[in-house]
Amino acid sequence: MGMSPKPFSSRIRVDLDTRRFCIDDCQGIYHFTKIEGILLAYHYDVEIADEDHKSNEFRMGFCCGTAGPFDLKDDLTVDLRTGAFERTYRYDYGDVASVRHNLHYTGACKSAPFSGLHLAPR
């Protein structure tokens, strides 16, 4: 028996000029891996990390540990015409026995004035 969907609210700040975005409190700023017409897409896989993510402590912190190897994959798409949003986030977390997490979000984005991309203080 599956869990019933729960409402959520999230803020995605998008800078189309630099092809970057952040989510909610901007713990990290990421580059879209694909911008094609009206579709924005982001794909991250810890196994094939690109140049933008080599020093990203927030992401890379999940890859290693005594219970590893850990898995981390993040797929996000936004349709600029309809506002349709979809994100699938899969990861293993925990020491000594890691647990698999699979999160799937869908929703509709509403356009708002750009408030900038600012990394949150740590």
| In the chain, where the domains are located | 34-108
Q: Given this model, what pLDDT does residue 70 score? A: 63
76 burial type by CB count under 10 A (0-12 exposed, 13-18 middle, 19+ buried): buried
pLDDT (mean) for 50-76: 60
3-class secondary structure, 81: coil
Predicted confidence (pLDDT) per residue in 68-99, tens digit: 556 778 899 999 999 999 999 888 766 666 77
Task: Say which amino acid occupies 111.
Answer: S
pLDDT at 56: 47
Convert the pLDDT of each residue in 11-49 to its tens digit.
899 999 999 999 998 888 888 989 999 999 998 877 665
Separation CA 92–CA 33 (nearest Å): 23
Beta-bridge partners for 14: 21
Task: Assess whether pLDDT exceeds 50 at residue 116.
Answer: yes
Cα torsion 74, 75, 79, 85 to 10°: value is: -60
Residue 102, pLDDT > 70, answer yes
